Amino acid sequence: MHSAVEIVLRGIPRSDELEFFIGEEARKLDRICDHVLTCRVVAQALRRPKQQGVQLAVGLAITLPGTEVVVNREHAEDVRIAVREAFKAAGLQLEDHARRQGDIERRSDSASPGKNRER
């Protein structure tokens, strides 16, 4: 990743353990796609009616050259589960993006004039 991970916690106590966990999950994205420019993580406690308790939400905004991947996940009990699920979904989207970029590059390479084509 070309820059640090930005972590915002709203209504959730700051914790070195949570911030380390988020950083580790963000670094895993580099193994999937080496074009990640920025990663912004917002974890927050959502207030629900009293009988439903607190819902924890995690939002990711991952910037790549020319596009952005945005993921939102919620979990009723554990912010770490919401973080893990959000990064898992982001990883799938980055894999799909990388696959599409590879297809586009292969098509543009094969369509380029002047290339030696074997028959």
Domain ranges for the chain, please list them.
5-109
Q: What is the pLDDT of residue 35?
A: 84
Residue 92 pLDDT > 70, yes or no?
yes
pTM of this structure: 0.78
- The stretch 96-104 carries a mean pLDDT of 76
DSSP string covering 32-96, please? H-TT--EEEEEEEEEE--GGG-EEEEEEEEEEETTEEEEEEEEESS-HHHHHHHHHHHHHHHHHH
Residue 101 pLDDT > 90, yes or no?
no
In CATH, what class is 5-109? alpha beta
